[in-house]
Amino acid sequence: MKQKKKSYLIKLTKNKIILFFVCILVLSTIFSLLISSNYLINDLKQSIENCLYIIIPALFPFMILSNFIMNTKVNKIIFLPFYPITKYIFRIDPKLSYVIILSMIGGYPIGAKLIRNLIDNKTISLKTANRMICFCYHSGPSFLIGALSIPIFGNIYIGLIIFLSHTIASFIIGFLISLFKKIEYIKQENIKELSFSEGFVSSVHTSIKTISITCGFIITFAIIISILNNSDIINFLIPIDWIKNLFTSFLEVSFGINNLFINKLFIPILVFLTSIGGICLLFQIYAIFINSLISLKLFFITRLFHGILSIFITNLFINNLNITIETFNNYNNYLNTSSSTYGSISLIILSIFFLLSIYKDDIIIKKKFYKRNK
């Protein structure tokens, strides 16, 4: 009984200490928001522009397509050529080829979201899901080229090289962790297929939720970074600017990476940061898999290995192609000249998709209602 009381008291004191520090953090955040409101507004504008002009155009169409492919019969036809790769390299059911391919093409959260849908539908086991998240997570070409390669270097080549490096590293990791694993084939009754209209509605609704979570985390971390950048504490702890920029880039890649000074160490840092995805993206992955009983231990271990392996592969590409940092031009104003056009187009497409989904959803609900009444 005494031991139980002691353990209870220890837990109680721990909870009080945590609550005390959280209260201090909340109060200091409120104070910082009031003091640095001017800086915060500018940083928020930048993060919202990143979401509107980069994140949404790069991810939202792939989210709709990936969910539509998953929910309909389309995946059985267009991904047939990838069945042998899925079976013999990754040791999973060939019917799941679309998850691997779309996660690599679409980028960070798409693979995680597709895997979560498979878990919720009881299509795959938790063991298979634990393996799949390790090689179905890395940056897509749209993000690497549109958000990093063109704005920083003024060309698409570095983005393509990093994408290929990430892809090869994912294949190597997938092969190594899948050795001697038994393939768990999907039972036909576990495959839930929707009609094209229902699949479209479901895809748009799911994609809107996912992209909202993604942009919400990016804007939240932009607020955190803005407070840290304008705080005397962070300037005292990290007096060197490029280390401070590196720290903020590790928190959220798209917000802080443009402030890093380009030198010989820049590309390995860029490769590693885009491999990990930053703390912001790791929180997004955690949010996607919350209450799913999936363990992310293997995922975090393989992230470090993926980052190191990607740096090694990137260096091989650069050395063999004789690419040097000095040959790249820096076009930091790229987004400013083209953002309004891309942002307007993406916003119009997003609005059309949303309106069509509501319209089709009403039709489906009415049909189901009439069938029940009959």
Angle at 323 between CA 322 and CA 329, to 5 degrees: 150
Long-range pairs of 152-157 with CB within 8 A, sequence gap ≥ 24: 152/257, 152/258, 152/262, 152/330, 152/331, 152/332, 153/328, 153/329, 153/330, 153/331, 154/328, 154/329, 154/330, 154/331, 154/334, 155/328, 155/329, 157/323
CB 311 within 8 A of CB 268: yes
Handedness of CA 183, 184, 187, 188 (dihedral sign): negative
Q: Name 86's Cβ contacts closer than 8 Å, sequence gap at least 6.
A: 92, 93, 94, 96, 97, 100
- Tens of pLDDT, residues 248-267: 778 877 766 666 656 556 78
252: region left, alpha or beta (phi > 0 left; psi from -120 to 50 alpha): beta
Angle at 130 between CA 187 and CA 218, to 5 degrees: 115
**pLDDT given at position 176:** 93
**pLDDT given at position 323:** 63
**pLDDT given at position 41:** 76
- pLDDT truncated to tens, each residue of the chain (374 aa)? 545 555 545 555 666 676 766 676 666 666 666 666 666 777 778 788 878 887 788 778 878 887 788 778 777 788 888 889 898 999 999 888 888 988 888 778 788 888 988 888 888 888 999 999 999 988 888 778 877 777 777 778 888 899 999 999 999 999 999 988 888 888 655 566 777 778 888 888 888 888 888 888 888 888 887 777 776 667 777 777 777 777 877 887 776 666 665 655 678 888 898 888 888 888 888 888 888 888 888 888 899 999 999 999 998 888 887 665 554 544 444 434 334 444 445 445 554 554 554 444 444 444 443 444 44
- Alpha carbon 232 to chain centroid distance? 31
- Separation of alpha carbons 110 and 346, rounded Å: 18
Looking at the whole model, is its pTM more than 0.85? no
| Token couple for 297 | 């231990």
**pLDDT given at position 13:** 66
